[in-house]
Structure formats: structure tokens, C-alpha cells
Structure 1
Amino acid sequence: MKALSTRRERGAALVTGLILMGTLTLIGVLAITSTVNEQRMTGNQINRQRAMEAAEALRLAAAPVVEAHIYTRGWPTSLAGGQVGVGDFNQAIPAQFSFATDADSVVPDLYNANGVGENPNNTFSMTTDITYRLDGNGDGDYEGELDRYAELKVYRTVVSNAPGSAIAMVQGYEGVGMAAGAGGSHLFMEFRGVGKSANGARVVVGSEYRHVIRN
């Protein structure tokens, strides 16, 4: 009969088990951390997309409003200081739009000179002219899934005669003669839209706007 060994275990199994448990714990922590980071990245991407949608929506919706504003040389009487009849303005202004006013509480004309200190190379030095607010869920803020918030900065760049247009005497509204005033002159502006969303998400979009002066 073979005698049983009385040699004591030296803890190898315990140490191996602890190492294995530690490794599995580390893998679990890394997996949880990775999942949390992915959720944050997804949330940030969603917020960025909402900000982009708001900026683009404002930029596109504002174009016909600015077009009517330049064509009629003013704002409708529904806005502060407006002198153009609503029927003559002939362009509905979205209820979600609000307009910046000057020191006299009047909405300034966008086709005049730019504000002091405005620099197109620095978006945040440019004056916010139109603000778009949509409280889709009615909770009083503009950061929810159904909410949208954006600001539009309009920067006048240059007035130039169209190629091939005849140039007659300059009119009072600058740089367009009789022939140029019939569609031969262009007013260029830059539209800079800044969309905002939850967690500080912010997107800046821009486009060049050309108005054909025809009156």
C-alpha cells in the first residue's frame, strides 16, 4: 500500500486563481470603460448632428427672408422699426426667428456696413443678426431631442457689377447705375450659421450669398 503524501501545498493554485480573477476583472473594467466611452461618443455625435441640422435649417430658411429684405430695402412693419408693409415684403418670417436690434431698438438693415470689430476670419467676432429657437418638447430649453437652436451672422462682403453689364450713373443705394440696377450688379454676403445643442455641442457652417440687384 502506497502512503499518501503529507507534503503541504505551497499556494500555487490560490495564486493562479487570484491572477486569473484579476485578469478577468481587468478585462471587465476595460470593457465597461470602452462601452461608456462609446456611449459618450455616440451622444456627442448625435448632439453635433442636431447642431448641424439647426445651423443648416436657419441658413436655408433665412435666405428668402434676406432676399425680400434687400429687394424692398427694409424690414416689414411686424419687426421693430420696420417700414415696409407686410404685403409689400411678400415673404413670411418664421415664428421661430428673432432679430437683433441696435441701440435704438430697431432691427438694422443687413445690406449696410458691417458692425465695428466684425472679422470674417473670427466667427465669434461677428454680430448675430438672426436667432432660430425651436422648443419642440415645450420644456423651456433648447437642448432636447426635438429642440433646435442656431444663430445666423450676416457679413456683407462686396458689391460688384456683373460681367458684361453696362454702367450708368451711380444710384443712391450704392454702386448700381440704371443698367446695372436692372440685374447687372451683385451684392455678396457671407452667411455664417452657428448651431448649438446639448453638452456644449457647436457647429459652424457657412455659405456665400449673392443677391442680384434688380430694382
Structure 2
Amino acid sequence: MTRMQLVLPRLYMDYKLYAEMYQAHAGNGCFIILDNGAAENEQVTDYELSTVAQELMPDEVAIPDVLGDAKATINRAQNFIEEYLEKYTMIGVAPGFVAQGCDVLETLDTIWEAYDRWNGIVKTIYIPRRLINDTGNKTARIEVMQNNLPDCFEYHFFGATGLFPDELRVAATLPNLRSMDTSLPYNYAWFNQPIDFTDMNISRPNDYFHLLFNSEQREYSIQNIQTMLRWINE
């Protein structure tokens, strides 16, 4: 496993092996973000999310958001913080906010709205891959990070897109970006492809969370992870 791991609460609740793997790594040098599941169409209730957080004790939890809707996401987050902030504070899990927006400017506005409301409460701003897919602008998230941003937050890229697989290479040069999670090494490996071929737009395979690798795909997965780790150190 790489150091940064994203956990889906629905899979954690439904699959014992999945839960046990992350339980073994939480607090053991692995940084765990508990996702809310919206972007993966694996949503859970706020209560279920908090229940998983109390059991797993991740480093961060993604406050529930509304895909592609900045205003609704702000309202959703406000309600969640009012109801659940004390519970997460008591168990030492830091809240992160997903900055939804239809374009770069709206995403920036959403981040500053989060600053006005939750400076000192929200630890991390998550910038979703949806921004790239919705705008068709493969450098959209890079452009967000190149603007004036509140320095009280840490910043994380939520996922990566096949439209720009070597985004990580560029992102590694951004001084204010903390981290990024991605399943691209797996996606390329499923189709027996090295991720070096960045002109290929590889999409996530169907039934992604339930597929098993053969030995060749496993080797491609390891190779692709090593490639992306090399990119961030170039």
C-alpha cells in the first residue's frame, strides 16, 4: 500500500476483508481519508459515516457534498458541521471539505466561502476530479492551485482522471498541494497497460470495486504505482 489511502464507507460496512485491511493500516504510518462515497455512487447516511469514523479512526473525513453543485454543497456541509462536528472533534478526526464548482472561478469562490464559514474547523480542502471531467479542461485543478488561496487549509486532489494521467507530475511542483489519491495505476493495469503511455484515455473498468487481478495485471499495477511515485520525485 502507498501511504495515502481513501476509504469508502459503503464498502467498509459491506465487506469484512476490505474493513480489516484498512483497520490494520489505520494509525500504522498510513494516512487514511474516509470518503463520503458521493463521487463513487456509494453514498451512506451521515449517521453511517460517523459510525464508520468512530470504528476506523481515520485521519480525515470528507464532509458530505452534492456533486457539481457548489451552493448545495455549502448548505449540506453547514448542516453536517452543525450536527456532527462535536462528535468528530471528540474522536480526533479532522473534517475536510469538497470544493464543488462548475469551473475554476466557482471552485475558487467555494473555497473562500469555506474560509469565511469554517476557518479553524475544516482542515483540508478536497478538489474533485469532477472539475476536469465537467469542464473538459485537463489543467483546471492546477489552475485553481495557482490562484491566491487561504493558507489555513491543506489541499488535496480527490482522484485523478484518464484525461490527464500525468497531472500528478505537474501537481508535485505545486508548493501548496499536500496530496492526491488515484486509482489510475489499477485502471491501466486492468487493461494490461503501463501508465507511461499518457496519450491513452483509460477509464475505470466496470464493476471496479469487485474485480480480481491476474498475475500479469498485478505486475502492471505495481509498475504503474512505481511510475507515479517516480513522477513526484522528478
TM interval, shorter chain, is: under 0.3
1 or 2, which has the higher helix percentage? 2
- Normalized per residue, the structure richer in strand is 1
